[in-house]
Structure 1
Amino acid sequence: MRTTTGRGLQPNVLGTFDTIVMAVAGSAPAYSLAATTAVLFGAVGLAGPAALLYCALPMLGIVLAYARLGRIDVNAGAGYSWVGRTLHPFLGFLSGWALVVSTTVFMVAGSLPAGALTLSLFDPALAENTPLAAAVGAGWFLVMLLVVLGGARLTVRAQLLMSGIELLVLVGFVLAALAHRGHATAFDWSWLGFGHFDGASGFASGALIAAFYFWGWDVTSNLSEETRDSRRTAGLAALVGVAVVFLLFEACTISVNVLLSAGQIEAAGANVLAVLGQEIWPGVGGKLLVVAVLLSTVATLETTLIQVTRSLFAMGRDRTMPAALGTVHRRWNTPWVAIAAVGAAALLMFGAAAAAGSVSRILRDGVAAIGLLIAFYYGLAGIAAVVAYKSVLLSSVRHFLLGGVWPLAGSAFMLWTFVESLGELSTTALTLGLGGLLTGLVPMVVYWRKGSAYYRPARLDAVSALAAADPFAGDRTRTRRADESLATDF
């Protein structure tokens, strides 16, 4: 429930196609593959395609949960609002805080590769200069900060250009990989099975990394207040976006397994797509894929900025964080105070990253920490959807499976991954992930004691919420229309 009034975000700016573009860009196909393929290979070897497949299935359950929750509560805070109104406000705040921390960590984990990739286009030796990469990455970050400040329409136009080129390059190289004759390893169907995992903890480690691949599609929910017919559009766009990136991830990961040796993958690190490009098209292919990764990285910086600033906007509006964060710019209709706050925090982190070590090390720890936080807040959202729709779960097989079993299974998978992977992570990753999450207890307690209305929520129930969405009908008509709307749900 929105607990304050005032100038809000600009409604009806984005259409269905725009929102699908944002969902795909949020998952950043080329960046995710470049930043994470070597990390995934190091964790599970040739089982990368299996890890992606078995994470995609429960991830679709979380997508369904988001789609159904978005039908009954259009809120820029997304899980922050939904979990708070169904499970408990404390869990809701920590869910939103997990997103804030994960996106803030990503400002460095995403910007550093953008800087390194830019430098590699001119001189590959410069790419390992971490301070210089941090400076160039900070420049890209500031450009995207200004684009996000300019509003949702400008953001989508930038995404159409960057993501369009990125997807064309990726699809072209996938097709070229299929026709390529120089194979390092023959394709094996066991790559899609469980045989290559090192027990339950090994599988959990792979799943945590795979969750990072998919992460970002939920930007459609954070944009819901700015989307036309958002009760349906946000969920549909997320579903389409996850399907598109899953196919790309599987095709590219299998191509890497087939065309590159284990030594090449490990040596390449975050440069694995450039090595793949060189293998397919020597001389030019590597550069083209570097450009695709660079565009993808910059594009996902933009969507990540949207997620964190819209979440902080919702928190400021609800007085669970400083109220200034809920301030909207009069001209651009964007939460400019939240954008400025995130920009300042990220620039401080760039300074710390410049002295922290190599780009590869920062990426490895950052990806693991972000994966931990993703598993936490996605898991809570899956449970929230089941609770919100509990009154209709037994009304049909579709509601039972799509509204109950699948989201709950997705939630159980995410939370199991969260717990199981704790013993596998480095101290740095645990500090960033769990430590960052625990810092949220401070603002949570402070604003709870100040009496924020967020901590006295109106309970979220699917039938009553959809009935209330039609204020011009009588009680019986509203209930009937709510039932009809639920019948057409995902």
Structure 2
Amino acid sequence: MTANSAPHSQGVTLKRALGIPALIIFGLAYMVPLTVFTTYGQVTSITEGHLPAAYLITLVAMLLTACSYAVLVREIPRAGSAYTYARKAFGGHVGFLTGWTLMLDYLFLPLINYLLIGIYLNAQFTAVPIWVFTLASILIVTALNIVGISIVKNANLFLVGVQLVFVAVFLVVAVVYAANNPGASLLQPLYDTGMSIPALASGAAVIALSFLGFDAISTLSEEAKDARRTVPRAILITTVLGGLIFTAVAYAGHIIQPAWQDMADPDAAAVEIMRIAAGQWLEIFFLVAYIAGCVAAAMASQVSVSRILYAMGRDGVLPKRLFGAFSERFRTPIGATIFVAVVSLLALVVDLATIASLISFGALAAFSLVNLSVVKFFLFDRKERGGKAVLVYGVLPILGFAMTVWLWTSLSGLALVVGLSWFAIGLVYLAFLTRGFRRQPPEIDFEAENAALDAEHAMTTRAPIA
């Protein structure tokens, strides 16, 4: 089977079996509860010891944006996320540039997980260089994604469960530690007179990447019971739960290690905190839970972005020879998968802070367009009127837009330069693709790709890319 011979999707329907609890579990699995430790040391340094406060700021911005996703998914229950919403509201050119900017997230999410695997395994096995662990994880995960793997039905529930058990144990340990060390300030992580608002904004902008995934729930609309009701609720509940978990874990970490200036290695600060809190057993427990989460996230994110790139290659948005290449033997998008692996090799040379900022750049830019899409689609195109409409389709998304832009512009200068350069490349490519903007860019049909792969799954015992 080649890229041009995907099975026809007519008659393929998905079982509507997912209720709100299952959707929330999926969203949390995608967000990864322990992702707070991805940038713990870096953002603690940026915010000068006020990481929990930064998480609360980001939570407010993400909750407003989640409201925008919730109202859009009710009216446009299609795959494609921000790309689809921006295209529907503003047309193909803006939709393309939104998707292009969001591609920074898709391409770098596998990369940051590979980098973190190297950092944390090196912290435990110092004799082995970081690059060895990072390169090995890239090769192993890429090979599995090319060959195709069967994911156990309850894998998400298990992985989320392990992480939530660790979070519960960690919070209990933090309470015990605080009781035995009463000198720690309980208010300082959230507020003190020396707090810097610009520093908080910079930190809050970076940790926007922690919330990536709440919108992924919208992709399950065809498998959800009463999707127009359950999917929006699950998006909002997942955002709140994720934000509260992140804030609680960050707060506990600061209680255990309030002297943030003394962190030996900000990139692997979590290992130091576990050692201080309870010794080697908690350190090992954390390492197992965190690495498992990183491997699962790397696997899922590489599969996801490979499918997106394959769909773009198949539809002529990207070069078809590379991105539309499909393995007949393994039934996986081999060209796109290898391309993502090559991009992920940047993990061998870049630093964690830069990658985290670039991922947040793409996310915040796309989230800004989603908020504006609500205003354009409902108030201008649909001409919704009345007090409730103005609040839901005007005030809330505009507040969400303002907060995401504030966070977006608070990123580091390097992140803004690289991100805007990526946007400029996309603009030039769009001009080439549309012959000087004189025609509409090709539309990426995510539904066709999903249906084709579901049909493949029904016709063969081989695992589909999913």
TM-score by length of 2: 0.81
**Alpha carbons of structure 1 residues 413 and 158: separation in structure 2 relative to 1, 3 Å:** same
| Counterpart Cα distance in 2 of 1:19 and 1:134 | 31
- State which of 350, 361, 383 in structure 2 corresponds to 1:372: 361
**Alpha carbons of structure 1 residues 451 and 321: separation in structure 2 relative to 1, 3 Å:** farther
How far does residue 380 in structure 1 lie from its aligned partner after superposition? 0.5
Q: Is the 8 A contact 2:64 2:399 kept in 1?
A: yes
**Alpha carbons of structure 1 residues 229 and 95: separation in structure 2 relative to 1, 3 Å:** farther
What is the aligned partner in structure 1 of residue 24 from structure 2? 20
> How do 1:400-415 residues align onto structure 2 when only pairs under 5 Å count?
400-415=390-405
Q: Is the 8 A contact 2:174 2:253 kept in 1?
A: no
Instruction: Specify the SS of the correspondent of 1:192.
Output: coil
What is the aligned partner in structure 1 of residue 97 from structure 2? 94
> How do 1:454-465 residues align onto structure 2 when only pairs under 5 Å count?
none
How far does residue 38 in structure 1 lie from its aligned partner after superposition? 0.7
- State which of 183, 198, 205 in structure 1 corresponds to 2:196: 198
| Counterpart Cα distance in 2 of 1:452 and 1:300 | 38
What is the aligned partner in structure 2 of residue 435 from structure 1? 421
Q: Is the 8 A contact 1:222 1:307 kept in 2?
A: no
Is 1:254 aligned to residue 251 of structure 2?
yes
What is the aligned partner in structure 2 of residue 137 from structure 1? 137
How far does residue 40 in structure 1 lie from its aligned partner after superposition? 0.9
| Counterpart Cα distance in 2 of 1:448 and 1:6 | 29
What is the aligned partner in structure 1 of residue 126 from structure 2? 124
**Alpha carbons of structure 1 residues 260 and 437: separation in structure 2 relative to 1, 3 Å:** same
How far does residue 53 in structure 1 lie from its aligned partner after superposition? 0.6
**Alpha carbons of structure 1 residues 232 and 330: separation in structure 2 relative to 1, 3 Å:** farther
Instruction: Specify the SS of the correspondent of 1:46.
Output: coil
How far does residue 294 in structure 1 lie from its aligned partner after superposition? 0.9
Cα RMSD, aligned residues only: 3.4
What is the aligned partner in structure 2 of residue 353 from structure 1? 347
| Counterpart Cα distance in 2 of 1:350 and 1:310 | 16
**Alpha carbons of structure 1 residues 438 and 232: separation in structure 2 relative to 1, 3 Å:** farther
- State which of 337, 341, 346 in structure 2 corresponds to 1:343: 337
Q: Is the 8 A contact 1:14 1:226 kept in 2?
A: yes
Q: Is the 8 A contact 1:22 1:159 kept in 2?
A: yes
- State which of 413, 420, 427 in structure 2 corresponds to 1:425: 413
| Counterpart Cα distance in 2 of 1:144 and 1:13 | 29
One-letter code of the match for 1:416?
Answer: W
| Counterpart Cα distance in 2 of 1:142 and 1:239 | 33
One-letter code of the match for 2:96?
Answer: F
How far does residue 103 in structure 1 lie from its aligned partner after superposition? 2.0
| Counterpart Cα distance in 1 of 2:408 and 2:328 | 41
Q: Is the 8 A contact 1:369 1:432 kept in 2?
A: yes
What is the aligned partner in structure 2 of residue 69 from structure 1? 72
What is the aligned partner in structure 2 of residue 170 from structure 1? 167
What is the aligned partner in structure 1 of residue 232 from structure 2? 235
**Alpha carbons of structure 1 residues 433 and 14: separation in structure 2 relative to 1, 3 Å:** farther
How far does residue 131 in structure 1 lie from its aligned partner after superposition? 2.2
How far does residue 61 in structure 1 lie from its aligned partner after superposition? 1.1
How far does residue 251 in structure 1 lie from its aligned partner after superposition? 1.0
> Unaligned regions of 5+ residues in structure 2, if any?
1-5, 445-466
**Alpha carbons of structure 1 residues 157 and 97: separation in structure 2 relative to 1, 3 Å:** farther
Percent identity over the alignment?
22
- State which of 47, 52, 69 in structure 2 corresponds to 1:44: 47
Q: Is the 8 A contact 2:307 2:336 kept in 1?
A: no
> Unaligned regions of 5+ residues in structure 1, if any?
458-490
| Counterpart Cα distance in 2 of 1:250 and 1:431 | 30
| Counterpart Cα distance in 2 of 1:392 and 1:156 | 43
Q: Is the 8 A contact 1:382 1:410 kept in 2?
A: yes
How far does residue 455 in structure 1 lie from its aligned partner after superposition? 6.6
What is the aligned partner in structure 1 of residue 386 from structure 2? 395
> How do 1:265-284 residues align onto structure 2 when only pairs under 5 Å count?
266-284=263-281
User: When the two structures are aligned, how many residues end up with a matched partner?
Assistant: 431
TM-score by length of 1: 0.77
- State which of 362, 380, 386 in structure 1 corresponds to 2:375: 386
| Counterpart Cα distance in 2 of 1:106 and 1:307 | 10
Q: Is the 8 A contact 2:184 2:258 kept in 1?
A: no
| Counterpart Cα distance in 1 of 2:314 and 2:225 | 22
Q: Is the 8 A contact 1:22 1:303 kept in 2?
A: no
* Higher mean C-alpha deviation, range 225-234 or range 345-354: 225-234
